């Protein structure tokens, strides 16, 4: 099957330098949009489940949980799988969960003041206690 230049599947002919320039401009615009989105999400509020007070997302410390997956079969290795996100209220010390169904966790993670990775229940408990000691 012969395809002509007039088919809608093809863009006008561009040289490699022009394509590279267009890619760079698009990547720069995308980078700016991601930063703008992060700032916009950071201005939103999370409501504490414990005290019902609101905290701006850009001021929370986001705790990303990970669950251990043991090795399976002869070629599968063990791994850590990301779970739900959590945050500790800076006003009362309550641990609140964030679920993907309610929030865009990646956006919150990008906008949060700090992100702490936790691996296992004990690690999460230790980090929660550390945050509660600052309340």
Number of domains in the chain: 1
Q: What is the pLDDT of residue 24?
A: 95
pLDDT averaged over consecutive 10-residue blocks of the chain (135 residues)? 56 81 94 88 89 90 85 78 85 83 75 82 82 78
Residue 69 lies in a domain: yes
Query: Cα-flanking dihedrals φ and ψ of residue 107, to 5°?
Result: -65, -40
72 located within any domain: yes
Sheet with 114-119, edge to edge strand ranges: 95-98, 79-88, 61-69, 114-119
* 33 occurs within a structural domain: no
Q: Give kind and range of the element (H or E) at residue 94.
A: none
Write down the pLDDT at residue 93.
Answer: 85
Is residue 27 domain-resident?
no
* Residues spanned by the domain of 77: 42-132
Please give the model's pTM, rounded to 2 decimal places.
Answer: 0.64
């Amino acid at each position: 099957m012969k395809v002509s230049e007039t088919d809608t599947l093809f863009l006008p002919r561009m040289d490699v330098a022009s394509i590279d320039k267009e890619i760079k401009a698009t990547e720069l615009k995308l980078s700016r949009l991601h930063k703008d989105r992060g700032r916009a999400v950071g201005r939103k509020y999370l409501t504490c489940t414990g005290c019902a007070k609101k905290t701006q997302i850009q001021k929370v410390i986001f705790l990303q949980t990970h669950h251990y997956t043991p090795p399976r079969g002869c070629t599968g290795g063990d791994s850590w799988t990301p779970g739900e996100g959590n945050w500790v209220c800076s006003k009362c010390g309550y641990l609140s969960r964030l679920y993907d169904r309610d929030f865009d966790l990646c956006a919150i993670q990008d906008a949060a003041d700090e992100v702490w990775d936790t691996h296992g229940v004990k690690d999460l408990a230790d980090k929660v206690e550390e945050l509660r000691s600052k309340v």
